[in-house]
Structures are given as C-alpha cells and as structure tokens.
A and B are shown apart, each in its own frame.
Chain A
Amino acid sequence: MDLYDEDLSENKFFRSLADKFPNLFDVATCNRCTICVPCVGSLLGFKFSKENIDSHVLVPVEEKPCCFVTVNGKELTIQSNVVTRGNGFTLTDPIPVLFEETFFNANDESYMVLCIAQPLDGATAVGDSQSKDSVLNSFTDYTTFLWGETGGEKNKKLVDQAIGSFIGRLHHLERESLTKHIDATSDLFTKAMQIVLKNRHLKKPAFQDSALMENVKIAVEAYVLHCVYKPLFAGICSCLAAHDEQLNKITRNLHELQLRDVGVRLEFCRNIPRARKELGYLMSYSTPLGKLNCLKRAVRSLMQPVQRANQTGNPLALTTDDLLPMLIFLVVKMEMPNWWANLTYMTSFHFAKSSNHDEYGFYLACLEAALEHVGAGQMEALMDGVETAQACFFSQ
C-alpha cells in the first residue's frame, strides 16, 4: 500500500560511493549529478567496483530531457519512473524508480538521488527488492499474521477475552463522553498489543524491525476494532448525535443543490459519480483504516485527470479550493446519517498510525472542512441567495 522507503544514507551502495570513492562522490555532488542507488534488498551479490559504481552516476544530456549518460559513458533514459538502459549496458530490462530524494552538497546545492529496484550494472544474482515485505489487506491476512504462529491460539484466546470484557463494559459507557470511549478503546488496543507481543516469534523481530512492528499494530487494531465495531460505533454515534442531527437537518433542506451552486469547476464534474460510489462503501468498513482507505479512494477519484475544456496546453492544477466544493457537494448528497461519527471514528480510534498518516490526515481535514462548512449553514445561506436571486428574476 505504502510506497517503498529506506534510509539511503545507510544503504551499502551509497556508503561505498561516499566512503570508498570520495573523489567520484565529490565530483558527482559538486556537479549536481543524479545518483542511482539500488535498494538495499537488491545488493546481494553486487560487486562494489569503481566501474560498477560509475554506471550509477548520471549526467543529463543537454537539450534532451529524460536522457542521461553515466560517468563511464553508458546511455540511459528515465521516464514515467522507469529507467531504460541503452548503449553500453549489457542488460536492458527496465528498472523501476522506487522513490527520489533530494540531497544537498557542501554548498547547499541540491542533487537528486533515485532509489532503484535493482543495480544498473554489476549484479550477479537477481535480488528481489521487496520480497520480505508483507502486505496485509484482508481480515484473513490479519488473523493469519497474528495467530498463525505457534502459541497464536493461546494469545488469540486472551485477546478475545479482553474484547469480550470490553464489550461487556461498553454499556456502562452509555451517556459517557467521547473521551471515555476513546480511552477505553485505546486501553483495549494497548492490552491486545501486549498480549500479541508476548509471543516469542513476534516479539524480538518486531522490536528490531519497525516495519514489522507497524504491521503488528495495524493487524491488532484491525482485529480488535472489527470485533467491537457494532457496539462501539453505536456508542460513538450517540456521542455525536447532536452534531449529526444538526448536519442532517441542513442537508435535508439542500436536496436540490446543484454542482454549480457549490462552485465546482466544470472540468472536474465528471469525477463526481465515481467518488460518490466509492464513498458509498464507507459504512461497509468496520475498521478505521478500512474507512480511511475508502475515503482516500474517494478523494483520489476526485483528483483523476480530466479532459481539458480549453486546450491551453498547460495541465490543470487541482487545488484545495477545487477539492472542497466537490466534497461539500458529496457530503450534502450522500444521505449519510452519521458523517461526524464516521469522521471521529477515523480520527480518534486509529491507534496504529503508519508512516503515511500525513496523507490520511489531509483527507480527514478535507472531510472535516466540508462537514464544518455545511454544518455552519453556509450552504443554506447560499441556497437562500439563489432563491432570492431567482425570485428577483421572476418578479421583474
């Protein structure tokens, strides 16, 4: 799900270039060359010779965008995040660029470092860049991941017991504040993490590998919150009932709202139906991350490339001022009875925050801004304005 990431200053290739070939490194960085660094998992069997390293230091070819020549004279192109090797290389299969990072030389001038999936030259064995990473997607994945190992059954029983007693205590929280709900659920999550990490097979590797630890957290959160979802979400809904009722009252009066009333740019209208469909699945997800990914897909579909109305040649930029009106329109039209409860569930009950939380944070802020705008009666005022304008028009 996330994009690949690693700390390049710890990468053996990068270290070797900087420490063992300081002259080449100085020349490369002073001249602001682009440096390709094979990802850590692909370096098994790589020969750290001058010749092989030279093949990874690139100088752009003037007047030819995307074309480069290495410092030992080999040619390649980089387009759509894929490196294609040309003259001088023995192998020619395309190599994906995993990510780019901007570095700075002693004069604070930038140079680009590209992390690529495998070496351009000098690999003896084909290493697999991402094989060790496990991607968890379904509930079955989570349960296998958590309880599959030896001792898993016992731990599952303990976690299930904790979940059982949490559900038993939930009705005591009725009429209690949202904070109490959050604290109780957070306690349950922490307790479940402690039980799961007692497992010898998981404990040591998880404390050494932060990616694995992130996966453990995500899996535990998914398991626990899926199990308690129904009663817990009902509790959250009653905490936010006043907010949601007020919003619903307003949206009911806005059923005649049109895209143009909200000021949606014409070019983006085509993306609305798909986003609406995506967002329609929100209630079918039981975990905060499930809902977050649903929201992400919806917002992403609003950002899809569109056909340009005018052929100016410049691509159209989608700003927050463009995004907000579309979300406002969706909030009004979706007939979702508990927007605020859903938003709160995603913001305050997602304990296993991952490294890309900032991106989710942005989507959440946009949804919150849309709810706030509609709830504050801004749209009603606008519709009144429209009616008044129409009334004026007809009375003339």
Chain B
Amino acid sequence: MATSSSGARDNSFKIVLLGEGAVGKTSLVLRYVENKFNDKHITTLQASFLNKKLNIHGKRVNLAIWDTAGQERFHALGPIYYRDSNGAILVYDITDEDSFQKVKSWVKELRKMLGSDIALCIAGNKIDLEKDRHVPAEEAESYAKSVGAKHFHTSAKLDKGIEELFLDLSKRMLEKAGEVEQKANGTNRSTSARRNVVIVDDEPEQKSRGCCS
C-alpha cells in the first residue's frame, strides 16, 4: 500500500479551518491548494479535506487541512474535528462584525480545550471590499496579539495574503514541533494522545510516527 518512504525530515501537520458560513473560508483554502494543472471544468471541488506539500528550506511539511462544521446546529461536534490539530486558521469577513465576534469565541474554545499547543492564525478576509469594512484593522490586530495569534489580511478573490498566512503558520508549527522534540529527548512522552506502536528489536533503527508528527 505504501509506495515510498517518508524521510526523517518529514512533518505532518493538521490544520483546522474555522469560521462562519459566508466568510469565504472555503474560497480561501481552495485558492491555496488550487491545482493549476488540473481540469477547470469539474463541477465539484472537494473542500472538506485538502493536502498540500511544502518544502521550507529543506524541511518537508505535509499539511492536512480540515474544514470544520460551521453551522450552529453542529457546534457541539467541533472537538471531534479540532482535537490533535497543530494549527488553526480562524476566518472572519472584514465587512461583518458578527463573524469577528464568532472568531473570538472560537479562540476562547480552542485555548480552553487545546491550550498553547496549537498555533493560531486569524484571517481578516475580503480585503477587496475595504470600503465596506466593519471590523477596524487595528482592533483585529491587537486582539490577535493579545491571544498569541498572528493576524493576516486576506482576499481569496485577489489571492492576497493567503500564501503568507500558510507559510507563517507552517513555520510556527515547525518551531513548536521542534520544542516538543527537544523536551521529549530524555523524558517520556507520556502526555501523547496518539497511540504509537513500538516494535522492540535489537536494532534500534525503528522509527514510528511521533505524537507530534
């Protein structure tokens, strides 16, 4: 089944995408993973689970981007989607104050459930509609800073700010992964939520997926 090796430099990160229905989170992520060499005439774009491979100065990063249920009736299901995630992108629409308030409540929930293990990015989307802005840029930026998140101004329509957002988030996840690895050297990773199978053998080269991979 497996067709090739995943080397020691590989990092797999899970990113969840949060935001209300009309903030444009789907366009944003589709723009990011857009396959320029694929048929344009397909009628459905699968936007619930996406992959992207990056190579950041020699470090391979495999992003698994999970869309989460945004409808209010599915709110209770949130944790099923965001548990074990390494990063989150919280999207609001700069013309819609309510969508920004919603981001704030997501941040609270994520910090409560996942602590500081998760790297957060807040995206103020639709900057092509600057003239209808209802969320002041300074307010959003200082809020992001106060909760340890990075803020980005994006437009899925103009393809602005999106690549920078994902690159920054990936770098921060790499940093966190590095910290965890350092801590783990010497101490047992007893807090690991994921089950690892370790095969005991006299040749200690066996490498199983780490908890933070």
Contact = CB atoms under 8 A, between A and B. Distances in A.
A270 to B, nearest CB: 11
A103 B209 CA distance: 24
B3 interface: yes
Nearest to A350: B195
Contacts of B36: 65-66
A351 B44 contact: no
Interface in A187-202: 189-190, 193-194, 197
B58 A9 contact: yes
A186 B200 CA distance: 13
B207 interface: yes
A315 B69 contact: no
Interface stretch (B71-79, B118-126, B136-144): B71-79
Interface centre among B27, B73, B163, B205 (most CB of A within 10 A): B73
A101 B53 contact: yes
A113 B47 contact: no
Given A197-B199, A372-B80, A210 B6 contact: yes
Contact of A6 (B4, B51, B66, B76): B4
Contact of B163 (A110, A351, A353): A110
A316 B30 CA distance: 11
Interface string A359-392: 1011001101100110010100000000000000
A211 B70 contact: no
Interface stretch (B7-15, B101-109, B185-193): B7-15
Residues of B in contact with A, size category: 35 or more
Nearest to B78: A369
Interface string A54-66: 0000000000011
A194 B167 contact: no
Interface string A1-19: 1111111111000000000
A358 B48 CA distance: 13
Contacts of B37: 66, 78-81, 97, 100
A10 B7 contact: yes
Interface string A116-133: 000000000000001001
Contacts of B58: 9
B146 interface: no
Contacts of A305: 42-44
Given A101-B55, A372-B77, A318 B47 contact: yes
A121 to B, nearest CB: 20
A210 B42 contact: no
A317 interface: yes
Nearest to B81: A365
Given A104-B167, A321-B71, A369 B2 contact: no
B109 to A, nearest CB: 16
Residues of A in contact with B, size category: 35 or more
A81 B38 contact: yes
Given A10-B7, A101-B55, A365-B80, A320 B12 contact: no
A169 interface: no
Nearest to B46: A303
A303 B81 contact: no
Interface in B84-105: none
B55 A316 contact: no
Nearest to B168: A108
Nearest to A66: B37
Given A78-B37, A318-B45, A320-B67, A354 B26 contact: no
Contact of B73 (A4, A189, A378): A378
Nearest to B197: A351
A355 interface: yes
Contacts of B26: 317, 319
B206 A304 contact: no
Interface string A78-104: 111100000000000000010111111
A101 B37 CA distance: 13
Interface in A281-326: 289, 303-308, 315-324
Given A303-B44, A306-B43, A319-B47, A5 B74 contact: no
A109 B203 CA distance: 42
A215 interface: yes
B55 A8 contact: yes
B4 A315 contact: no
Interface centre among A10, A321, A376 (most CB of B within 10 A): A321
Given A102-B53, A317-B26, 13 more contacts: A78-B37, A79-B39, A104-B57, A110-B163, A186-B197, A194-B199, A211-B2, A315-B42, A318-B46, A320-B68, A321-B71, A358-B12, A369-B77
A-B interface, 6 closest residue pairs, ranked by CB to CB distance from nearest: A214-B2, A358-B64, A101-B53, A320-B67, A369-B77, A362-B49
22 contacts: A2-B3, A6-B5, A7-B10, A9-B9, A9-B58, A9-B60, A66-B36, A80-B38, A100-B35, A102-B52, A102-B53, A104-B57, A130-B3, A210-B207, A217-B197, A307-B43, A315-B43, A317-B47, A320-B69, A351-B197, A353-B209, A355-B6
